[in-house]
């Protein structure tokens, strides 16, 4: 399913529901061109597989052993089922709209999604309904994955995230002992998460962060000055209080970065989440009652950047525009992206 505006093009795979393309119409580089590699998960002919920006629902990460035996996949079913198109893309005077939905038979959830593309900003509204006869806990995480050629040594990731931790390390007992964005300790190395470079090693790591108590918006951007291109996401922190950064090298090369925002920051099965309950004062799951519908939204956008752009220090929303302030001490520039369809 393809939505087009005068400026940009967005493609959504019906098989799996992933946003697999977002690019300017006059630009060849698509930041969301990632597809799962065989060492992570072998593709099965004819079945949806993890691609681009996919939805993790009803969980983020692995099922329990018992759930796995019953067929529950890693990251849940939303990216493993075929979605139905309810409204094919319709282009109005300025906005192109579409709608789709899916059912998750094992989770007992229904997902409705509305998309609105205006200029280079795509607004996505999702509703999750519990069709089970009982209430349950669940998680809801957006999993954008950027890949080469957009992802390169020169690509810089910025965010309003604050305290966090590395999934393979000890859990912080308090904010004072937590890592501070963008620097984390991975093994014996102090790592700046703004950049990700080839090292000759394979493997991946995940770091998770929360936002300031006073922050109403969360955001993350990835900038590639060589391609003159920035992709960004913005959402309300009451919808998605966590940002999770996944870094992945394959065959010694940088292969993917996940800019994942959602309702949890603990990459564990539900039994572990129930025991832990919170990290850094933030919940690790949500509850949805039988028959209840919960709504969340986010905006993904593109911007053109100069070749000497240093990244984003601050993002603000004013008068139907996103204002992106450059991370620069002297004469910082400001980018503006029109957003007509704001967050719920």
How is residue 25 written in tokens? 């119409």
So what's the pLDDT on residue 228? Answer: 98
Architecture of the domain defined by 2-338: Distorted Sandwich (2.70)
The Cα 218–Cα 203 span in angstroms is: 28
The Cα 173–Cα 279 span in angstroms is: 8
Inform me whether the pLDDT recorded for 200 exceeds 80.
no
pTM, two decimal places: 0.97
Inform me whether the pLDDT recorded for 79 exceeds 80.
yes
Element (H, E) at 127: strand 121-130
The Cα 58–Cα 64 span in angstroms is: 13
Torsion of CA 184, 286, 18, 63, to 10 degrees: 80
DSSP bridge pairs for 337: 322
So what's the pLDDT on residue 40? Answer: 87
Sort residue 80 into left (φ over 0), alpha (ψ -120 to 50) or beta.
alpha
The Cα 68–Cα 58 span in angstroms is: 14
Instruction: Give pLDDT tens digits for 12-28.
Output: 999 999 999 999 999 99
The arithmetic mean of pLDDT across residues 184-200, rounded, is 91
Inform me whether the pLDDT recorded for 46 exceeds 80.
no
So what's the pLDDT on residue 100? Answer: 99
So what's the pLDDT on residue 231? Answer: 99
The arithmetic mean of pLDDT across residues 264-286, rounded, is 98
Contact 333, 303 (CB under 8 A): no
Contact 273, 252 (CB under 8 A): no
Contact 306, 333 (CB under 8 A): yes
Inform me whether the pLDDT recorded for 78 exceeds 80.
yes
Contact 237, 217 (CB under 8 A): yes
CA atoms within 13 A on the CB side of 339: 29
The Cα 204–Cα 212 span in angstroms is: 27
Instruction: Give pLDDT tens digits for 118-135.
Output: 999 999 999 999 999 999
CA atoms within 13 A on the CB side of 284: 19
The full DSSP string for 212-240 is: -TT-SEEEEEEEEGGGTEEEEEEEETTT-
DSSP state of 72: P
Element (H, E) at 66: helix 65-69
Categorize the per-residue pLDDT at 109 as very low, low, confident or very high, splitting at 50, 70 and 90.
very high
So what's the pLDDT on residue 37? Answer: 84
Q: Let me know if 218 is exposed, middle or buried by CB neighbors in 10 A (0-12, 13-18, 19+).
A: buried
How is residue 299 written in tokens? 């905006």
The arithmetic mean of pLDDT across residues 33-58, rounded, is 88
């Amino acid at each position: 399913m393809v939505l087009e505006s005068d400026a940009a093009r967005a493609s959504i795979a019906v098989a799996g529901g992933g946003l697999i393309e977002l690019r300017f119409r006059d630009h060849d580089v698509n930041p969301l061109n990632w597809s799962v590699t065989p060492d992570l998960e072998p593709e099965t002919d004819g079945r949806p597989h993890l691609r681009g920006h996919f939805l993790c629902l009803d969980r983020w990460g692995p099922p329990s052993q018992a759930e796995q035996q019953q067929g529950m996949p890693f990251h849940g079913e939303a990216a493993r089922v075929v979605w139905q198109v309810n409204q094919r893309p319709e282009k109005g005077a300025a906005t192109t709209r579409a709608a789709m939905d899916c059912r998750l038979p094992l989770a007992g959830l229904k997902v409705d999604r509305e998309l609105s593309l205006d200029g280079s900003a795509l607004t996505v509204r999702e509703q999750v309904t519990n069709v089970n006869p009982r209430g349950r806990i669940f998680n809801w995480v957006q999993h954008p994955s950027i890949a080469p050629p957009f992802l390169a040594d020169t690509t810089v990731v910025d965010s309003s995230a604050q305290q966090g931790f590395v999934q393979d390390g000890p859990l912080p007992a308090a904010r004072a002992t937590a890592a501070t964005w963008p620097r984390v300790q991975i093994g014996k190395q102090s790592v700046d998460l703004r950049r990700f470079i080839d090292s000759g090693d394979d493997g991946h790591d995940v770091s998770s962060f929360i936002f300031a108590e006073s922050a109403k918006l969360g955001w993350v951007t990835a900038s590639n000055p060589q391609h003159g291109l920035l992709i960004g996401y913005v959402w309300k922190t009451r919808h998605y209080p966590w940002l999770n950064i996944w870094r992945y090298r394959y065959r010694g090369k940088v292969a993917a970065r996940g800019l994942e925002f959602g309702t949890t920051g603990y990459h564990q099965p539900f039994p572990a989440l129930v025991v832990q309950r919170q990290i850094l004062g933030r919940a690790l799951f949500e509850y949805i009652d039988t028959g209840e519908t919960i709504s969340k939204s986010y905006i993904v956008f593109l911007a053109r950047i100069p070749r000497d752009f240093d990244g984003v220090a601050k993002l603000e929303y004013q008068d139907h525009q996103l204002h992106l302030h450059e991370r620069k001490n002297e004469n910082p520039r400001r980018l503006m992206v029109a957003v007509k369809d704001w967050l719920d």
